[in-house]
Amino acid sequence: MSKKRIFAFTVIAFMLICILTNPSKEKFEEVIANKTTAIIKKQLEYEDQDAITLAMSLFGNKIVDRFIENNIIVENYYLFSIVKIKWEGQETPIGGGAIKTVWLSPEIDKKTDEIISVLKSL
């Protein structure tokens, strides 16, 4: 076999692997929900963490899920995906995913701080 054919088969195999292992929208939502919950707990800085856990289980998870449902956009490009957050009319990339892995950029921390500060001022 020639080197061109081996290279072509390798590229095709890599593309198929990427397509078949691209993370689902649900995987992105799960990772973002976990990250958001951790950031909210850290932002509250409450001494009794059990109270925060109880409050999050009663109210917070529903709020986080609704926020993710309405403001998180997952753009699937077959080989990889990009996740964006929509806030105040702007879409900001906050992460990506490929080969069953989701990466979140530090931009999610900045956006979450901005959103929480707006919500605290209400």
Q: What is the DSSP string of 32-63?
A: HHHHHHHHHHHHH--S-HHHHHHHIIIIIHHH
Distance (Å, whole) CA 33 – CA 46: 20
Q: Identify the domain containing residue 10 by its residue range.
A: 3-121
Helix, coil or strand: residue 121: helix
How many structural domains compose the chain? Answer: 1
List the single range of 44-48, 53-57, 90-94 with lowest mean pLDDT.
44-48
pLDDT in tens, 7-30: 999 999 999 999 999 898 889 888
pLDDT in tens, 61-92: 777 788 888 888 889 888 899 999 887 788 88
pLDDT in tens, 90-114: 888 888 999 888 988 887 777 777 7
What pLDDT does residue 47 have?
60
Question: Is residue 50 exposed (0-12), middle (13-18) or buried (19+ Cβ within 10 Å)?
Answer: exposed
The pTM (predicted TM-score) of the whole model is 0.73
